[in-house]
Amino acid sequence: NDILHILETDYDISKIIIDTWIRTLEIYSADDKTIYFCVDEKRGKHGVDYLHKKGYDIFLLSAIREILNDSDVNIVIDEKKNFIPEDEENGIEGIESKLHREYSDGYYDAVKRSNLNPKYTFENFIVGDSNRHAYATCLAVADLPCQDNFNPLFIYGGSGLGKTHLMQSIAHYILQNDENTNVLYTTSEIFTNDIIDAIQKNKTDEFRDKYRRVDVLLIDDIQEIIGRERTQQEFFNTFNYLYEAKKQIIISSDKPPKEIKSLEERLRSRFEWGVPIDIHAPDYETRMAILRNKAELNGLASIPDSVFNYIAENIVSNVRELEGALNKISVYAKLMNLDITEDLAKDTLKDLISKETTSLVITPDLILSTVADHMDISIEDIKSKKRSADIATARQLVMYLSRNLTDRSLQSIGDTVGGKDHATVYSGIKKIEEKIKEDSQFNATVDVIIKKLSPQG
Ligand code: ADP
Ligand code: MG
C-alpha cells in the first residue's frame, strides 16, 4: 500500500490505472535482490507489454526502491506461466495418489445428505495453469482441513470457472476419507431461505443447530448475501461459532473480499483471515482437455479434434459455456441425425460465439454502451450536446474510462461521444478524476462499471 501510495501521489498515476494494472500484480516470489511480479492472468502478455510501454514498470521500481531504501533492488514483471517451474506439481502428487480408491455405500449417502453434486470431484476436475494454484490449495485443505492459514478458505473468480466444482471436490474428498464427517454445502440463497423459513415458523433454534453441527461448511456465492442484513448477521454468528470451534469454512465469491463493496467490514476482514485464492479463465490447452474429458464422460465418441479446436478457440472465458457449446452441438446432431463436424459446430454456435468474441476487447464503443446501460441514460443523449448533470457525468465517464482502459487518443474518444474536441475530452477526464476522489459512492459505481467491462467478468 505504501508503494501504491507513492505511485499515486508522487508519480501522479491515476487511481484507476493503479487499480487496474498495478494493484492486480501478484508477487510471485523474491530473492534477495529481485522481486518477481506476475500480471493478472486475464491480461496476460498484453498486461506485461502495457506496463512497459507506458513506463509504469519504471515508476513501480523506483517506488519500491524508495520504500525499501535500497537502490539495488530489481523487479521482473511477467506472465505467471513463465515463472512456474516444470515440476511444481510434485508436491501434490502424494495427495493425488489418494484420489483413486473404492467408495463405500456410506459415502454415497453422505454425498446426498451434504447436498453435493456427485460429479463435482477432483477426479473430474481438469487442471491447467489457470486453476493449478486453486486446485493445489483445495487439495491441501481437503487432505488437512482446519489449518489456520486456510480457514476460511476463500475461493474467488468469474462465473463458470469451476468454483462450485472445486469447493465441492474438497467435501467429496473429506467424505471419502470419513463418511461420518458432518459436511454441509449451501449457497447464500439457501441460507437466506432457511433463515426466512426459520423466522416464520419460529424455529430459529433448529436453524442454528443445523448450521452449527457441521464440521465442514461450504457456502457458495457469498456475494449474494450483500444487502440482506439479517442474513449477514446470522452468517456472521455462524461463522464465528464454527471458527471458534475450529471447523473448516469454505467460501466462494465472484470477487475478492476487498472488492465486495458493501459487505460489512467485520465480515470482510474475517474472510481475509485465510489466504483468498483465485481461479482464472482456462488457457487453450486446458479448454481442449476439458472438452475432451466432458465428451468422454458423456459418452460422445468420435467427435473430431477440429470440433474441439473450434469450440476451444472461440469460447475462451467460461467453462460452463464451453460445456454448453458441446452439449448444444451434440443434441442438435442427434436430433437431426447428423455427424458432428466443424461445419455443424460453426452453424450451431453462431450466436454464442459472436457474443463471446465481441465482449473480449474493450473499446470506447463498448464503454459507451456499458455506461449508458448502467446509468440508464441513452447512447443518443450521451452523444448529444445536452448538459444536464447526469448526462454530462455519463459522457465524461465514457471519456475517462476510454482514456484509461483503451489506448485511443483524446480525439478519437471525442468522436465516440458525438464529436467533442480534445480539450473537452481532457477537461471531462479531469472532472471525473476529481469526482472519484470526492465521492466514494461514485467511485464504487465506477468500479462496478469497470467490472462489467472486464473481459472475464
Ligand atoms: P462457478 O461456480 O465458478 O460459476 P462451476 O463450478 O459451476 O463454476 O463450473 C461450471 C461448469 O464447468 C461445471 O459443470 C463444472 O463441472 C465445469 N468445470 C469448471 N472448471 C472445470 C475444470 N477445470 N474441469 C472440468 N470441469 C470444469
Ligand atoms: Mg458456482
Low-confidence ranges of the chain (pLDDT < 50): 87-90, 358-359, 456-457
The predicted-structure confidence for 173-212, as pLDDT tens digits, reads as follows 999 999 999 999 999 999 999 999 999 999 999 999 999 9
Give whole-number Cα distances, 92 to 98, 231, 349, in Å.
10, 37, 38
Ligand with minimal distance to 123 CA: 1
- C-alpha 457/C-alpha 7 separation (Å) is 27
0.90 cut: is pTM over it? no
Range list of β-strands (E), 320-389: none
286 contacts 131 by C-beta, under 8 angstroms? yes
What sign does the dihedral 117-122-126-131 (CA atoms) show? positive
Atom of ligand 1 minimally distant from the CA of 125: 24
188 contacts 231 by C-beta, under 8 angstroms? yes
What residues contact residue 406 under an 8 Å CB cut-off, 6+ apart? 362, 363, 364, 367
* DSSP per-residue string spanning 141-174: HHHSTT-GGGSSEEEE-STTSSHHHHHHHHHHHH
Give whole-number Cα distances, 145 to 140, 173, 216, in Å.
8, 11, 8
Tell whether 15 is in a known binding site. Answer: no
pLDDT at 261: 67
What sign does the dihedral 258-161-234-225 (CA atoms) show? positive
What DSSP state is assigned to residue 127?
P
The predicted-structure confidence for 207-251, as pLDDT tens digits, reads as follows 999 999 999 999 999 988 877 888 989 999 999 999 999 999 999
- C-alpha 436/C-alpha 447 separation (Å) is 10
Dist. CA 125 → ligand 1 center (Å): 8
Residue 64 half-sphere exposure, CB side, CA atoms within 13 Å?
19
Tell whether 164 is in a known binding site. Answer: yes
- C-alpha 457/C-alpha 450 separation (Å) is 9
Cell of 386: 445536452
Ligand with minimal distance to 126 CA: 1
Q: Which residues line ligand 1 (CB under 6 A)?
A: 124-126, 131, 157, 159-165, 290, 319-320, 323
How many residues make up the chain in this entry?
457
What DSSP state is assigned to residue 359?
T
- C-alpha 79/C-alpha 82 separation (Å) is 6
281 contacts 456 by C-beta, under 8 angstroms? yes
- C-alpha 287/C-alpha 151 separation (Å) is 30
Q: Which residue has 487499480 as its cell numbers?
A: 19
Ligand 2 ion: residues within 5 Å (CB): 163-164
Ligand 1 pocket test, pick from 125, 129, 165, 287 with the greatest ligand atom count within 8 Å of Cβ, gives 165
Tell whether 286 is in a known binding site. Answer: no
Ligand 1 pocket test, pick from 320, 322, 326 with the greatest ligand atom count within 8 Å of Cβ, gives 320
